[in-house]
A and B are shown apart, each in its own frame.
Chain A
Amino acid sequence: MNDILTIIGMVLMLIGGIFLFLGGLGIFRMPDTYNRLQAGTKATTLGGMSVILSIGFLEPGWFVKTLVLVIFIAFSNPISSHALARANYKRGNKPFLKGGPEYDQYREVYEKKEENTEKVKEEETA
């Protein structure tokens, strides 16, 4: 039983290390902020979760605490990446598009939302 847990832990640790390395490499190589977000956040989510879970398998007494950490990463990493992407778009940093600007499908939604907020502000002042 203990041998099986050790083997699972070693495999998970190796997978996690490879994914953390790929996340760092993607952050360095990608051409655009959105691509960097994609590479950096998703790869490191999987990598960090498997490295932390592998420690839980290697040392079964710590399993519950490592599970808490894994759940925390699963909640916090997507939220922070979403907030960063939204802030980057609102800042006016347009994505790198191969087909041209008409492929930016978020733009219409965003402009409509901006018009609505401006209307509400005008009504409030008037």
Chain B
Amino acid sequence: MLNIIIYITLGFMFTGIFFSTLRFVLGPTAADRTVALDTLTTIAMALLVMLSFISNRFIYIDIALVYGVLGFIGVLVIARYLEGAL
């Protein structure tokens, strides 16, 4: 039962990643691309935590935390740059 739920969730998450990547490639303005990047960061954090459960390794949760912090700082810097303040 748990296996089936994990497969279904992974399918949903990869479909979401596919659509976000499409917007990241197509997006007309730079702000659209940054929004898509923000979404991709959050989905990738959830995916890394799922990976740590599937492969039964505790260390991937730390990697998810570091990835989240770096993505957050990156999005803030890009937003500051789009504002024209950087």
Contact = CB atoms under 8 A, between A and B. Distances in A.
A45 B42 contact: yes
B13 A20 contact: yes
B12 to A, nearest CB: 4
Given A80-B72, A90-B84, A51 B23 contact: no
Interface in B56-82: 58, 61-62, 64-65, 68-69, 72, 75-76, 79-80, 82
Interface stretch (A64-72, A97-105, A107-115, A118-126): A64-72
Contacts of B76: 79-80, 83
Interface size range of chain B in the complex: 35 or more
Contact of A84 (B1, B23, B31, B45): B31
Nearest to B17: A24
